[in-house]
Amino acid sequence: MKKTMMTIIMALLALGCGAGGGEQREVKQKAMETNAEIRTATFAGGCFWCVEELLRRQPGVLAAISGYAGGAVDHPTYRQVCTGDTGHAETVQVLYDPKLTDFETLARFFLEIHDPTQEDRQGPDRGSQYRSVIFYQQEAEKQIAAKLLDILRRQGLDVKTAIEPIERFWKAEDDHQDYYEKTGKAPYCHRWQKRF
């Protein structure tokens, strides 16, 4: 188990999936302390600064990384994604310990911190780069996402959140990582609302 965990950590570090040197060391330290297996969950729901900040505070989350997914351009930049022409959405990839949380818990929370009924926008941010997506890696995650969206639809919500396979996650530039921690500001466009 330890060899598998270290292999995963080293692969993540080699790929540059961490937000920075300090966060990478913190993820490694947390994983070693808990003998953690690391899994990922990937969500897009408007401004990635807000989604990252709220998800990284959840129990069992080792790191939350801002980036881009769902588009056709390799190595997109923030400036390119902001045009809406790359097809990418501002996305957050969550690294978590499955002994402490699971995909369904994180997906439920994600659906409670943004408005899943808004299409190609979230609050004041407008454009396809702000669309709502639950990305899945496995069929089980796809089924969980579909179940959660069905629950919301049965409540009468006109859900716009898409469910898509994650093909590639591109880490955003360093100045977009841990944005609220760096600036001392508070998330302005997302807030928690109980839906489940």
What's at 161, amino acid-wise? T
Q: Which of 17, 47, 82, 189 is catalytic?
A: 47
With the CA atoms of 169, 175, 179 and 183 taken in that order, what torsion angle do they form, in degrees rounded to the nearest 10? 180
Describe the chain by its helix, strand, coil percentages, rounded to 5: 40, 20, 40
DSSP summary character for residue 128: G
Catalytic status, residue 82: no
User: Tokens 């600036």 identify what position?
Assistant: 183
The catalytic residues are 47
